[in-house]
Amino acid sequence: MRWPWIVLLLSSNVLTAIVILSMKSSVFNSSSPQRSSSASDNMLTRQLLHHPSAEKMSHTIEKFSEPILRPLSTIRTTKSQIIFAITPTYVRDTQKVDLTSLCQTIMHVQNLLWLVVEDSDMKTALVSDVLDRCKVESVQLNVYTPPGKKSISSGVDQRNLGLGWIRRYCSNQTNCTGSVYFMDDDNKYDLRLFEEIKKTQQVSVFLVGFCGGMRAEGPICNRNGRAKLWNAKWQPKRSLPIDMAGFAVRVELIVAKPNALIGVDKFGKQSKLGYLESDFLGNFVNRDMVECRGNNREVLVWHVRTQKPRIRYLPNLKRAG
């Protein structure tokens, strides 16, 4: 930090000093030693940068690092249906709690690939430790969303990064069959949900508990497996009034449409609040074509949050939560 003062002393003109200082600050920000390899070499980044709405997301793509894979030692059979579960996560008090609990749930599910995408510029030790201990096949990614530039809702960039990783992974692999599911870290899941997700043929939707101001928001199925009614009272005119955790999309559809991202609809327009899911699924199906899964009597995924813990006495910062 000695540079600014030296420049001021040497330059007689204050204006030139300011210009030089502003140039220096940008150099400082990008040449930090903790950043990993540069993003431009990465094929994934190049794919994202050439996307039509890439300019809006370019501030997030620059801060990008290589994914960490934690594969299992067991060999997956070639025709098994994989569930690609994308989990965006961010730093908060209850992050470790939620991730640990989610890990315990996932350990019961076979053939699930857990993509954890952190909202940070580096991979944090907390998430790395949780994933090290967790006996689940996982991929750790990260992309930073600056607080001032958060889009409609949190986790959009992280989910898109997960989708991009899946597209890249499936372009290299031949046994890429299954579904993509957005698994938020604070939600709770019944194990029967994953059996329903594996049966997805195109896009399947299910009820989500405690969502949209109701006990359960989502489709009411008829006997043919189509959504007869939609149980939704908050913005019911959306084409698909469900939560992010209420649908699963087939991987082949995701790979076939590389321009389908969360936050933009199929015409490239930005989504409004609450329309993320409708706009994303509008790339693949209509309202009538979705497969309705789950029985109408029970809810298999709940949109809950872990309450922010009441920490009233602050001087306990040396302990990790």
Residues catalogued as catalytic:
277
Task: Considering only the stretches 55-63, 115-123, 254-262, 306-314, report the one whose residues sit in contact with another protein under the rule CB under 8 A.
Answer: 306-314
Does 105 engage in binding with another protein (CB under 8 A)? yes
User: What is residue 8's three-state secondary structure?
Assistant: helix
Helix (H, G, I), strand (E, B) or coil at 97: helix
- Of 158, 156, 154, 165, which Cα lies nearest the Cα of 84? 165
User: Distance (Å, rounded) from C-alpha 168 to C-alpha 139?
Assistant: 13
Measured distance CA(21)–CA(225) in Å, rounded: 64
Answer for which of 2, 50, 79, 312 binds another protein (CB under 8 A) is: 312
Kindly state whether residue 93 participates in binding another protein, applying the rule CB under 8 A.
yes
Does 215 sit near another protein (CB under 8 A)? yes
- Is 104 a binder of another protein (CB under 8 A)? yes
94 interacts with another protein by CB under 8 A? yes
Closest alpha carbon to 122 in 200, 198, 34, 45:
34
**By CB under 8 A, residue 313 contacts another protein:** yes
Q: Scan residues 171-190 and list those touching another protein (CB under 8 A).
A: 188, 190
Residues 6+ apart with CB under 8 A from 48: 54, 57, 61, 160, 161, 164
By CB under 8 A, tell whether 210 contacts another protein: yes
Smallest distance from the beta carbon of 162 to another protein, in angstroms? 23
d(CA 141, CA 134) in angstroms, rounded, equals 16
Q: 11, 47, 81, 101: which one contacts another protein (CB under 8 A)?
A: 101
Q: What span, in angstroms and rounded, lies between the C-alpha atoms of 159 and 181?
A: 10
Token code pair at residue 134: 């967790």
Task: Tell whether residue 233 is a contact of another protein (CB under 8 A).
Answer: yes
Q: Is residue 34 a contact residue for another protein (CB under 8 A)?
A: no
Q: Whose Cβ is closer to another protein: residue 12's or residue 74's?
A: 74
Candidate residues 214, 239, 257, 274; the one interacting with another protein per rule CB under 8 A = 214
**Given 57, 139, 141, 216, the residue binding another protein (CB under 8 A):** 216
Spatial separation of the C-alpha atoms in residues 131 and 298, rounded to whole Å: 31
Q: Does 74 bind another protein (CB under 8 A)?
A: no
Angle at 95 between CA 116 and CA 293, to 5 degrees: 55
Sign of CA dihedral 16, 30, 54, 47: positive
- Residue 221 has φ and ψ, to the nearest 5°, of -85, 150
Least distance from another protein to the Cβ atom of residue 192, Å = 8
Q: Which is closer to another protein, CB of 2 or CB of 297?
A: 297
Nearest of 37, 36, 2 to residue 21 by alpha carbon: 2
Task: Tell which one of 17, 20, 153, 302 touches another protein (CB under 8 A).
Answer: 302
Using CA atoms, how far apart are residues 317 and 321, in angstroms rounded to an integer?
Answer: 9
Q: Does 223 bind another protein (CB under 8 A)?
A: no
Closest separation in Å from C-beta 159 to another protein: 22
Q: Which listed range, 113-121, 145-153, 160-168, 313-321, lies at the site for another protein (CB under 8 A)?
A: 313-321
Q: Does residue 237 bind another protein (CB under 8 A)?
A: no
First-to-last C-alpha distance (Å) of the chain: 33
The residue to which tokens 């029967």 are assigned: 192
Find the shortest distance in angstroms from Cβ 25 to another protein: 35
Binding region for another protein (CB under 8 A): 93-94, 97, 100-101, 104-105, 107-108, 188, 190-191, 209-210, 213-216, 231, 233-234, 296-299, 302-307, 309-313, 316-317, 319-321
